[in-house]
Structure 1
Amino acid sequence: MANHPDNTPANTSALEPDRQIGQRTPNLAVPGFRHWKNGRSGTPGMALVGGLWYPASRGGLGTAQVLQHGPVFLGQAMHQDAPVQAGRWPLVLVSHGVGGHWRSLTWLEAGLAQHGAMVLGINHPGSTHGDYDMRRSLDHGSRVRDLQAAMDAVLADPELSAHIDTSRIYVVGFSLGGWSALSIGGLRGDLNAYTQYCAASGHRHCKDIARADVDLAQLDAAQWNRSYRDPRVKAVAAIDPALHQGLETSHARDMVSSVLLIGLGAGADRLPDTDFSPGHSTLTSILPKAKVETLAPAMHFSALGICSPQGAKLLAEEGDDAVCTDPAGTDRPALHRRIVALIANEWGLQKPAVPAGVADR
């Protein structure tokens, strides 16, 4: 359920050939980017940090740069601190998985910005790389409060809010972040159902919970099970979401009408903890109007960034998850483009116009 952590600073460099960068979508304008910070999160006393991506005003941009991801993953092309292109854009909030980082999903953030949205990926205190604790990560309501605090801050910023269409606010997440998206969209959890799932299955997340000496039965059921719906959010998308086992129709009674579910992999390549296919989860049956897409060949970690040529070797040397080793036949860049296109089409995003004669470098 975790994104692979990225343990290097988010620095930039001059744009290098695409074979070294990896994450630059052909025929789409390179987006603008700013580092983002807010003093308030869903956890008292903790700040929020993230990355803001947006359609960039094309005049005088110069050569694009790369937001570096360290030795395992390739960087993402962007225009640092570029002006925002004129107009009002949908606002998209992006939520990462357990132990992940907003930089784990820059392909998604930048890709949606290229399709015409202002996109903010944030870190979740307590369940992000460098600040992770199992018990805190299971307080999934704090993740929704993070998203709400980020939303509040962006909408209160005069410069940014002038470029946002407040009638089109969306949330997308991966893994536990997929649950965060569903949760802010109105889906309620069921602590007893998840406790029973762990007792019966013993799958990956359940084993991690047990190793951390956390007793699910002792958590606050009222907080786990309550609604976190935010009416400002008009649509949600969940990529391989977690925590949905054992839910019933009543858990979805407050759900936003527009829901996109994207599953990764087929058969043995599906991660059991995030598998929402019939027979493994009730999710699609309690959300009968949701659009459902299953993409294969792929695996859960195919939703992380494009790996560098030495990425798999470095992970093996560290004894880490083989997040760079996709099933045979997987084209990770093409998979990423497909996911971005599915979300952009579902939300009716429109690619920003590029003035004639302006080349993106």
Structure 2
Amino acid sequence: MYYQRVLFTIFCLSSLLLQPALANSVGFIPLYIEANAIRPLEGAMWYPTDETEAKVLIGDNPAFIGVPVIQNASIDTKNAPLVVLSHGYRGNWRNQGWLAYSLAQKGYIVAAINHPGTTSFNHNASQAAQWWQRPKDMSHLLDHLLSNNSYRNKIDKQNITAIGHSLGGWTVMQLIGAQLDRTAFKRDCQQYPNSRTCGLADELGLSTRQDAEPSSHSLSDPRIKRVVSLDLGLARSFSTTSLASVSQPTLILAAGVDIGDLPQAMESGYLAKHMGRAHRRYKVYQNATHFSFIQACKPNAVTLLEAEKQGDGIICQDGRGAQRSTLHQQIIDDIVQFLAD
């Protein structure tokens, strides 16, 4: 398993009544985006609010810890920076809810969607193979937010960031000009075969050209002003020429603990090597694993996950001596500093 497999789908959006908020409240609303010319999307939005209603936990389930929000609260901000989130392979919008919540506390509006075909709730093979749809999903999300009367006047259209984890990192890099080079990817897989990267090539439509694949692999969106990549995968499928041409500020964050995928030096490090130094920052959390970038786990989570499928307890394991809460705080601090610069 290269990316995460979310196991408790029937529990993924449970709610628990909490005490009224004191300060730094975060509002929350679900997003349902109609198809138009692009496929329909489901997701969520977090944002700062002054309301102090009773809170509920979103994304809480038997294995994972949710975040306390006020559902359908008013958006109490003007001209706020926007962050859009892309989840990893077979993940979902809840995976970086911890990050969305923390950014909303600091004044950001944050929105995330599920990518059909590669989400926990949809493994449709034909959709998964349409690799180009993932970056288009993010542009579709932006279209929705910037045209909706309830949101568009709340967003600073000149301050939009895309953040992605794992396959989501691969997705958001395409929004700033990284382009698939199928020939180079095939050659690289012959040299560095790995079942968790190259093994996904057929499923994700990377082995051969797809029937509906666009003639151009340029999927950039000029509305995206900066990108944060969280331990991305499939970096070596990008052409070095396209990476060298990226000019938007990019924060590349990587996990130092190898869990059987390609080492981060061949994934995140590949981005850093081929991008211009003036446009990227690169940091490795030596005690983090690939899954340290998703939500925090409850004490009995490993047992529950292993009972569901042997080996999946790794989702809740960080590097030796590391605590996910501590890693999350470091990640948040680094991202906030990057966004503020």
**TM superposition score category, shorter chain reference:** 0.7 to 0.9
Distance, in Å, in 2 between the alignment partners of 1:180 and 1:214 is 14
Equivalent residue for 1:354?
Answer: none
TM-superposed CA distance for 1:252, in Å, is 2.4
Distance, in Å, in 1 between the alignment partners of 2:199 and 2:156 is 41
TM-superposed CA distance for 1:40, in Å, is 2.2
Distance, in Å, in 1 between the alignment partners of 2:302 and 2:16 is 23
Q: Is the CA contact 2:180–2:238 (under 8 Å) kept in the aligned structure 1?
A: yes
Equivalent residue for 2:175?
Answer: 184
Alignment of 1:1-361 (within 5 A): 1-5=2-6, 6-7=8-9, 8-15=11-18, 29-40=24-35, 44=38, 46-58=39-51, 61-133=52-124, 136-206=127-197, 208-209=199-200, 216-219=207-210, 223=214, 226-245=217-236, 247-266=238-257, 268-269=258-259, 271-272=261-262, 275-277=263-265, 282-287=270-275, 288-289=277-278, 290-320=280-310, 321=312, 322-348=314-340
Are the structure 2 counterparts of residues 280 and 102 from structure 1 closer, same or farther at C-alpha, using a change threshold of 3 Å?
closer
Q: Is the CA contact 1:269–1:327 (under 8 Å) kept in the aligned structure 2?
A: no
TM-score normalised to structure 2 length: 0.88
SS in 2 for 1:107: helix
Letter in 2 for 1:345: Q
Are the structure 2 counterparts of residues 108 and 138 from structure 1 closer, same or farther at C-alpha, using a change threshold of 3 Å?
farther
TM-superposed CA distance for 1:110, in Å, is 1.1
Deviates more, 1:127-136 or 1:333-342: 127-136
Distance, in Å, in 1 between the alignment partners of 2:85 and 2:268 is 26
Q: Is the CA contact 2:89–2:167 (under 8 Å) kept in the aligned structure 1?
A: yes
Q: RMSD of aligned C-alpha atoms?
A: 2.8
Q: Is the CA contact 1:57–1:86 (under 8 Å) kept in the aligned structure 2?
A: no
Q: For each residue in 1:149-192, what CA deviation from the matched residue of structure 2 results, as whole angstroms up to 9, or x when unmatched? A: 11011111112111100010110000000011111011112111
Q: Is the CA contact 1:178–1:239 (under 8 Å) kept in the aligned structure 2?
A: yes
Q: Is the CA contact 2:130–2:213 (under 8 Å) kept in the aligned structure 1?
A: no
Are the structure 2 counterparts of residues 130 and 28 from structure 1 closer, same or farther at C-alpha, using a change threshold of 3 Å?
same
Distance, in Å, in 2 between the alignment partners of 1:153 and 1:221 is 24
Distance, in Å, in 1 between the alignment partners of 2:142 and 2:111 is 9
Identity of aligned residues (%): 26
Distance, in Å, in 2 between the alignment partners of 1:280 and 1:159 is 37
Q: Is the CA contact 1:31–1:55 (under 8 Å) kept in the aligned structure 2?
A: yes
What are structure 2's unaligned runs of at least 5 residues?
A: none
Q: Is the CA contact 1:74–1:307 (under 8 Å) kept in the aligned structure 2?
A: yes
Are the structure 2 counterparts of residues 32 and 115 from structure 1 closer, same or farther at C-alpha, using a change threshold of 3 Å?
same
Distance, in Å, in 2 between the alignment partners of 1:253 and 1:224 is 21
Q: For each residue in 1:10-68, what CA deviation from the matched residue of structure 2 results, as whole angstroms up to 9, or x when unmatched? A: 1322127xxxxxxx9xx9723111111111278x4x3211110001124xx23322114
What are structure 1's unaligned runs of at least 5 residues?
A: 17-23, 350-361
Distance, in Å, in 2 between the alignment partners of 1:147 and 1:295 is 27
Q: Is the CA contact 2:179–2:239 (under 8 Å) kept in the aligned structure 1?
A: no
SS in 1 for 2:320: coil
Letter in 1 for 2:274: I
SS in 2 for 1:158: coil
Q: For each residue in 1:275-330, what CA deviation from the matched residue of structure 2 results, as whole angstroms up to 9, or x when unmatched? A: 44269853212112310111121110111211112210011111252211222111
Letter in 2 for 1:261: I
Q: For each residue in 1:79-130, what CA deviation from the matched residue of structure 2 results, as whole angstroms up to 9, or x when unmatched? A: 1111111321111110001100001111111121112210001100111112
How many residues align structurally?
333
